[in-house]
């Protein structure tokens, strides 16, 4: 990270235990070194044991990763960075609309049989990640599951999480995979108006679809991180965390650029 990025990210991390009233041992490794190691792992897609020796020992980095995930730190950091970027470009801190979509990724051998599936449409065996982004393409929430789960079924979990994370969202754009009874269910249970953006039947080749292109661009940005191009995680929650770290990396850079 640059100094400007670290200046933005450091206050968003949990307060070290040694500085609280409860006390604790001073941290042996610099927080910035830990975060740099996590960013390197997500960006380069290496194994935990493959982290270069320039960083802290991989077991210590993994311990921080687990501790912060248990405390839901990445969710809080994503939310705060999204607010800062939105304010910097003249938007309200909290979005009122979102775009949702899914992406199937191939699963490595480390992914258990019970959490993978066959996506007939994409011809992919692995997991499917479902994300919700704001109109700028900034991540709001992510849900991972087997690739054989239909979008309209997984969307129930995604919409419930979206309502919890961003209660201000009232309008959601989606593709035809979310059409049907889900539109009524989203309105009834989560007060979300789902608008389906369909591709014209007469269109041929690549066509940029209104609103939907934003979430497609977000998937492209996530694919720049090698750890998220393919799913290597044994647990679905870990893959969701890797997606959030990839989003944190991107949004920290955006926040630093606007702060300059």
CATH number at residue 169: 3.30.420.10
165-219 pLDDT, tens digit each: 999 999 999 998 999 999 999 999 999 999 999 876 665 666 677 789 999 999 9
62-83 pLDDT, tens digit each: 999 999 999 999 999 999 999 9
Contacts of residues 185-188 at CB distance under 8 Å and 24 or more positions apart, as own/partner, are 185/156, 186/155, 186/159
Q: Whole-structure pTM over 0.85, yes or no?
A: yes
Please name the residues in contact with 100: beta carbons below 8 A apart, sequence gap of 6 or more.
Answer: 130, 131, 132, 133, 155, 158, 159, 162, 172, 173, 174, 178, 215
> What is the number of domains present in the chain?
1
State the Cα angle at 100 between 79 and 89, rounded to 5°: 45
Tokens coding 23? 């006390």
| SS percent in the chain: helix, strand, coil, step 5 | 50, 15, 35
Query: 192: domain range?
Result: 3-259
Confidence at residue 260, expressed as pLDDT on a 0 to 100 scale? 78
Positions of the chain with pLDDT lower than 70, given as ranges: 18, 21, 23, 200-207
Confidence at residue 206, expressed as pLDDT on a 0 to 100 scale? 60
């Amino acid at each position: 990270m640059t100094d400007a990025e670290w200046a933005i990210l450091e206050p968003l991390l949990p307060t070290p235990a040694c500085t609280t009233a409860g006390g604790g041992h001073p941290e042996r490794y610099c927080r910035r070194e830990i975060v740099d190691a996590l960013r390197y792992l997500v960006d380069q897609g290496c194994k935990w044991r493959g982290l270069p020796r320039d960083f802290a020992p991989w077991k210590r980095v993994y311990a921080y990763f687990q501790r912060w995930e248990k405390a839901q730190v990445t969710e809080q950091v994503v939310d705060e960075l999204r607010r800062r970027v939105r304010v910097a470009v003249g938007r309200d801190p909290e979005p009122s609309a979102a775009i949702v979509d899914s992406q199937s990724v191939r699963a490595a051998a480390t992914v258990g049989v019970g959490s993978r599936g066959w996506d007939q449409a994409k011809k992919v065996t692995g997991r499917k990640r479902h994300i919700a982004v704001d109109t700028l393409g900034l991540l709001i929430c992510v849900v991972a599951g087997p690739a054989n789960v239909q979008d309209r079924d997984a969307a129930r979990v995604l919409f419930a999480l979206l309502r919890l994370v961003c209660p201000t969202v009232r309008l959601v754009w989606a593709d035809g995979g979310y059409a049907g009874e889900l539109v009524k269910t989203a309105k009834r249970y989560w007060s979300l108006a789902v608008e389906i953006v369909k591709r014209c039947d007469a269109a041929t080749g690549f066509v940029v679809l209104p609103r939907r292109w934003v979430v497609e661009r977000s998937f492209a940005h996530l694919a720049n991180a090698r750890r998220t191009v393919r799913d290597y995680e044994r647990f679905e929650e870990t893959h969701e965390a890797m997606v959030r770290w990839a989003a944190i990396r991107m949004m920290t850079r955006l926040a630093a650029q606007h702060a300059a």
